[in-house]
Homo-oligomer: A and B are copies of this chain.
């Protein structure tokens, strides 16, 4: 009966995209009892820090986030962005300490779920274990995509892929897949894609000039989704003309 607020899992509009996906009604209610609390965050506020105890998973309730690793010389690499319904904190599973830091890109909210409690619940809720594995599998799959992107793609392909990735994810959330606002700075995008801000800016300007997208500051509109997809798939044809 605890946490029977309108925002708890059974009534959460993100349930089908989040941890409860595929679980029975009662199971979802049971899962909801594990959610310790919700937490509101301002832009630039940390959800957790690299090296901290990985005791919780964090489900994105609203807003968006950036995860990044700092290496020995203090240089940061953005590892991923998180949108509502996605789970953060999986990177602590190996040793119990977060290997990334995560900050909010805008005003946002997360649901904190103790990992230990989730693991206990696995024995009680059929399908939960499967679901946790699926979430981990999704993280692995998206990391692999990122590796392919960074390994072999030109600047133009990287930027196009980035826009398509956001388009797909916003679409899955029920938002427009062709018009949205970027919650991250150019610096974050560049860093994520292994490029410099200047290169990102130029590639976006090119796509704009070609009429494939319309971009003004952080506002993006994809005018020709098919063409954008083509850029990703057939590299050589689209060298900046």
A contact residues vs B (CB 8 Å cutoff): 69, 71-73, 75, 77-79, 90-95, 99-100, 119, 122-123, 129-130, 132-134, 136-141, 143-144, 146-148, 150-152, 191-192, 194, 232-235
Complex Cα spacing A91 to B132, Å: 14
Residues A234 and B73 in contact, CB atoms below 8 Å apart:
yes
Complex Cα spacing A106 to B151, Å: 25
User: With a CB–CB cut-off of 8 A, which chain B residues contact A192?
Assistant: 151
Residues A91 and B151 in contact, CB atoms below 8 Å apart:
no
Copies of this chain per assembly: 2
Closest Cβ neighbor of A71 among chain B residues: B148
User: With a CB–CB cut-off of 8 A, which chain B residues contact A129?
Assistant: 119, 122, 129
Complex Cα spacing A219 to B100, Å: 35
Residues B77 and A147 in contact, CB atoms below 8 Å apart:
yes
Closest Cβ neighbor of A99 among chain B residues: B141
User: With a CB–CB cut-off of 8 A, which chain B residues contact A90?
Assistant: 137, 140
Residues B94 and A141 in contact, CB atoms below 8 Å apart:
yes
User: With a CB–CB cut-off of 8 A, which chain B residues contact A78?
Assistant: 151
Residues B99 and A144 in contact, CB atoms below 8 Å apart:
yes
CB < 8 Å neighbour of A75 from B77, B130, B134, B152: B152
User: With a CB–CB cut-off of 8 A, which chain B residues contact A130?
Assistant: 119
Residues A140 and B137 in contact, CB atoms below 8 Å apart:
no
How close is A171's CB to chain B, nearest CB, in angstroms? 18
Complex Cα spacing A123 to B130, Å: 13
Closest Cβ neighbor of A116 among chain B residues: B130
Closest Cβ neighbor of A232 among chain B residues: B72
**What are 15 pairs between A and B in contact, CB < 8 Å?**
A77-B148, A90-B140, A91-B141, A92-B137, A93-B133, A93-B134, A93-B140, A94-B140, A119-B133, A123-B123, A129-B129, A140-B143, A143-B146, A146-B147, A147-B147
The answer to whether residues A144 and B69 also contact, given A130-B119, A136-B133 and a CB cut-off of 8 A, is yes
Residues A194 and B151 in contact, CB atoms below 8 Å apart:
yes
Closest Cβ neighbor of A132 among chain B residues: B133
With A75-B152, A94-B140, A95-B137 known, 4 other A-B pairs at CB within 8 A are A72-B233, A94-B134, A129-B129, A133-B136
